[in-house]
Amino acid sequence: MEPLRPSDYDDGAPERPIQQPSLGWVGFGRFMWRQLTSMRTALVLLLLLALASIPGSLVPQRSSDPNGVVQFRRDDPELFEILDALQLFDTFTSVWFSAIYLLLFISLVGCILPRTSHHLKALTSPPPDTPARLERFEHYRKETAEGDPAELMDAARETLASLGYRVKVEGTSVSGERGYLRETANLVFHFALVGILVGLALGTGFKYQGQRVLVEGQTFTNQLTSYDSFNPGRFFSDSSLEPYSLTLNSFTPTYQFDLTSGFANPLDFVADITLRDAEGARDLELRVNEPIDYAGTSVYLLGNGFAPWITVYSPSGDVVFSQPVAFLPQDSNLTSLGVVKIPDGLSTQLGMIGFFYPSAVALETGALTSVYPEPDQPVLTLNVFRGDLGLDEGIPRNVYSLDTDALTQVTGGDTGVDSLVMGLGERAEIPGGLGSVEFTELRRFVSVDVHRDPTQLPVAISAVFIMAGLIMTLFVTRRRAWIKITPGKKGQATLEFAVLARGEDPGLQSGLDDLVEAFSQSTKSRLSS
């Protein structure tokens, strides 16, 4: 274009199209990798992981609360189908949660490895050269001192070294750098975070959790068939169950009666347990929040209640059922609800729904209630049902519930026949010549949770390193310092001091003052401005 023509002159020449470089598959992959491993992406994934965890606390999970999932389906079947399709009842094993988890893991690893390589190079490389004009730094001081320049150089090197600087001598100046521990701590923090992610991922695969109700005198053997409920991890195998057994000898609760409120406040729960393994037997105490640890498993005390020993006799006097039945507490005074099922030994199958009152008192309406959680005056009431219990269909049934839709009620309700009421050691006849039932004995039960997570210790160690790395990152500062010596006349030398921080450092000025003071003490001479 000629110089006299305006810049917007149109000479009619066709405009050349913009040529964009072609990335190709390799270039596109490199671009996506850089985006994934950026710090911004890692922070976004951390936020998404936190948001994705919210449904796990709002919606019952199959892994921890299967009964809650069943109840949710009964209460709102339409909403259940939607939430189940979104895998919200299996939040932490869902496809979308696992995808965020894996992307975050890859992003962290991709961020850490290049930074680690760069940091290792920085640890082995000398401090940076001294700038030509130190007076341009904000934190700068110029002093004069008497002495031999060579001795002053030695003093400058020793001063920086004594303050924790890595030192490099060049000509008439000494440069130093410290605070490499800050980046080391930052890398430790991120490696520990990766360790937690790995630990949690492996923990979901190798851990298991099982529950069992133990009545006084009963023994639990650590095998799969002994659990009432069991939630294994993906990589669980029967060989991971350590061979041992637990026997509940006794259970002793401690209550304090509150005269103001009229309620009994629980103070302590102690379960006397005998643990048996290949080495022998030993007595242990199981308390709330004080689990028994054995062979990588932890046994926790979850709940307790009463287990009335119920004996059912046939019309001819033969015993057809005799065992303790765990009754589930319904209130703080341990008014308890239980179910008894008699599938064999009688002319028809019987089902009983009972209430147990540890300290029974009759209300004005005639109904019973318990006024204290200890067995002061225990009473057992039973409503009897006859018919097919559905136990022969091969379908698992809840032992704590009784489906009465297809059964005929014999006592209680609208039958006109009173419910069976028995004190401890008493016996009552079942109407219709079906036999009799006896409240033979009263025992206690506890519910225990057996939990095994082999990654607990690694995760705990990683958490400690996370806190240590975070604290060190906050308190360690990366700082550079220079001392430049310019020989003068009459045995005097001009000294220039400067410090520079990588990032925010509110103590930089005091660091400069400390540097000048340390140099003055090292040379045992007074500096003058």
pLDDT tens digits along 415-455: 888 899 999 999 999 998 899 999 999 999 999 999 888 88
Task: Tell me which H or E stretch contains 109.
Answer: helix 95-124
- Provide the pLDDT for residue 528: 60
Angle at alpha carbon of residue 228, lines to 222 and 233, rounded to 5°: 70
pLDDT for 249-301, tens place per residue?
A: 999 999 887 777 667 888 889 999 999 988 889 999 999 889 998 888 899 99
Query: Rounded distance, CA 262 to CA 275, Å?
Result: 38
Listed by start position, the domains of the chain span: 25-119, 126-178+477-523, 208-452
Question: Which residue, 121, 177, 153, 165, is CA-closest to 500?
Answer: 177
Residue 450, burial from CB neighbour count under 10 angstroms (0-12, 13-18, 19+): buried
Contact 307, 325 (CB under 8 A): yes
Contact 478, 180 (CB under 8 A): yes
Question: What's the one-letter identity of residue 321?
Answer: F
- pTM for the structure as a whole: 0.69
Q: Tell the CATH topology of 126-178+477-523.
A: TATA-Binding Protein (3.30.310)
Residue that wins the pLDDT comparison between 258 and 345: 345
User: Percentage of residues in the chain with pLDDT exceeding 90?
Assistant: 36
Task: Tell me which H or E stretch contains 281.
Answer: strand 280-287
Average pLDDT, the chain: 86
Task: Tell me the backbone φ, ψ of residue 366, rounded to 5 degrees.
Answer: 95, -15
Question: What's the one-letter identity of residue 358?
Answer: P
Structure tokens at 396: 């698992």
Contact 114, 122 (CB under 8 A): no
Task: Tell me which H or E stretch contains 370.
Answer: strand 368-370
Angle at alpha carbon of residue 226, lines to 224 and 228, rounded to 5°: 100
Give 15's DSSP letter: P
Over residues 178-184, the mean pLDDT reads: 90
- Provide the pLDDT for residue 395: 59
- Provide the pLDDT for residue 500: 92
Contact 178, 163 (CB under 8 A): yes
488 pLDDT band, cuts 50/70/90, is confident
Give 91's DSSP letter: G
- Provide the pLDDT for residue 11: 60
Find which of 11-15, 197-201, 466-470 is predicted with most confidence, using mean pLDDT.
466-470
Query: Rounded distance, CA 7 to CA 290, Å?
Result: 84
Asked if pLDDT for residue 521 goes beyond 70, the answer is yes
